[in-house]
Amino acid sequence: MKYWEIIADYLSRASWSWGCVSAVDSEGRTIWIVDAHRGDGRRFIVVADEKLSALVELEREVLTVTFYLASIRGGDQ
């Protein structure tokens, strides 16, 4: 299993819907756009030069906000 697949599996098991697409920017470079969202209105979108980098950054954003919200709500996510 590739590392990006592990991150994607984690997001899915944590009730996040996610998607990933590659595109070519105006300078001809391939970029990766990934997003994750949940029914509670939380949504994250990340753009990076590599698929793995995009998913690692997405995971970091999701975890940071999730842990922050849990801390201010007393463990309630």
CATH code where residue 44 lies? 3.30.160
Hey, what's the torsion of the CAs at 48, 50, 53, 57, to 10 degrees? 30
Residue 77 counted as domain residue: no
Range of 28's domain? 3-72
Direct distance between the N- and C-terminal alpha carbons of the chain, in angstroms, rounded to an integer: 29
Q: Coil, strand, or helix at residue 24?
A: strand
Give the whole-angstrom CA distance, residue 41 versus residue 30. 29
Q: What is the pLDDT of residues 3-49, one digit of tens each?
A: 989 999 989 998 899 999 999 999 999 999 999 999 888 899 999 99
pLDDT at 1: 84
What total of structural domains would you count in the chain?
Answer: 1
Q: What is the pLDDT of residue 75?
A: 57
